[in-house]
A and B are shown apart, each in its own frame.
Chain A
Amino acid sequence: DGGITQSPKYLFRKEGQNVTLSCEQNLNHDAMYWYRQDPGQGLRLIYYSQIVNDFQKGDIAEGYSVSREKKESFPLTVTSAQKNPTAFYLCASSNRLAGKSDTQYFGPGTRLTVL
């Protein structure tokens, strides 16, 4: 069963805590992405990685960190520096090899709530 998995589905965090959101894909995709979605709004890019051991900041990277040690995994850490972390977080992946589609496939999301 191929696809993208995100865990946990729901996450609650106390102010001042760092939390890590998991994203795993078994699609053999090269590129992975993290987006944030606020109620009634579109998706905004946090970080993306086009290859293992390399990643770039997106439009709203402040207060977040990522790692890409394995092709199939791209965890996102929401640090205490993120002022308003309550949101729906979406992970995506795409196959960027030459001649392949640009299509990004999304996981089911993690809803983070700061208490």
Chain B
Amino acid sequence: QQQVKQSPQSLIVQKGGISIINCAYENTAFDYFPWYQQFPGKGPALLIAIRPDVSEKKEGRFTISFNKSAKQFSLHIMDSQPGDSATYFCAASSKAAGNKLTFGGGTRVLVKP
């Protein structure tokens, strides 16, 4: 049972372009939606996170858009750089379930110079 569905599985974008990754969830109890960035052989690192009381959050070149009614959220990477090449995971958790994170399947992003 996949509670968080992530797409696409992989993405190629030119330097300076916009990378867009989408996630959809089923559990309406989820109240915390983080995005993690993972480089090969390393642990994931928190990139940006949002709660359902806001529809958008921006930190530098990274923006989360959140649509509560559609149960969808997305990550936009503006002005993509080769150093952004990594695997990105969306996740969701709820306080009611002990803040356990449920992860999407991941998106491998390659930024071409």
A residues contacting B by CB (< 8 A) are 4, 31, 33, 40-45, 48, 50, 56, 58, 90, 92, 94, 96, 102-109, 111
Contact = CB atoms under 8 A, between A and B. Distances in A.
Contacts of A42: 6, 89, 103-106
Contacts of A4: 43
Given A41-B105, A42-B104, A42-B106, A107 B99 contact: no
B46 interface: yes
A104 B43 contact: no
A5 to B, nearest CB: 11
B49 interface: yes
Interface of B: 6, 9, 32, 34, 36, 41-46, 49, 89, 93, 95, 98-106, 108
21 contacts: A31-B99, A33-B100, A33-B101, A40-B106, A42-B6, A42-B104, A42-B105, A42-B106, A43-B44, A43-B103, A45-B101, A58-B100, A92-B43, A102-B32, A102-B34, A103-B34, A106-B43, A107-B43, A108-B43, A109-B43, A111-B41
B43 A50 contact: no
A104 to B, nearest CB: 6
Contacts of B41: 109, 111
Given A105-B46, A108-B42, A43 B89 contact: yes
Which one of A4, A104, A109 has the greatest number of beta carbons of chain B within 10 Å? A104
A40 B44 CA distance: 14
Contacts of B6: 42
Q: Identify the 9 closest CB pairs spanning chains A and B, nearest first.
A: A106-B43, A42-B103, A43-B103, A42-B105, A102-B32, A102-B99, A106-B44, A108-B43, A109-B43
Contacts of A33: 100-101
Given A90-B44, A103-B46, A105-B46, A50 B98 contact: yes
